Amino acid sequence: MYQIQFSRGLDALPLAKELRRKVFITEQGFQNEFDDIDRTAWHVLISEGGFPCGTGRVFETPAGSGCYHLGRIAVERDYRKQHIGSLVLKKLEEKARELGARELQLSAQVQAQGFYEKNGYQAFGSIYPDEHVPHISMKKKV
């Protein structure tokens, strides 16, 4: 059984921070993983028996717009292909709706675009690099 925790601000979820460091910095080579948004965004942590399985964050941008950005979605290697990513996405979407979202947006790694399309997101704009990885903007009406 999975445990689900939400926190406003990343510091209250050290296991989420650890998982993001492992996935994005160690595995994927990103350098600028943590930012000021982490202090005010809502973060979710999915864990099993105290072990972090998946995490992500959601925040409104710009403030008052009803547009919420989902991001920093990471799944522990041993839990991939077990629907943890979908669970993280679902929980972030629920939180955004609770906060008044009318539209959801995210910046997807191109290799994960199909995953987001299966979850109702549509690509828009051109592919662009984020550090060294190709990304595409995606959105979904709620």
- C-alpha R_g of the chain: 14
pTM of the model: 0.95
- Give tens-digit pLDDT for 45-61: 999 999 999 999 999 99
Q: Where does the pLDDT of residue 136 fall: very low under 50, low under 70, confident under 90, or very high at 90 and above? A: very high
Q: Cα torsion for 63, 130, 97, 3, to the nearest 10°? A: -130
- Give tens-digit pLDDT for 95-126: 999 999 999 999 999 999 999 999 999 999 99
Q: Where does the pLDDT of residue 38 fall: very low under 50, low under 70, confident under 90, or very high at 90 and above? A: very high
Mean pLDDT, residues 30-39: 95
For residue 100, is it left (φ>0), alpha (ψ between -120 and 50) or beta?
A: left
Q: Which domains does the chain have, with CATH numbers?
A: 3-141 (3.40.630.30)
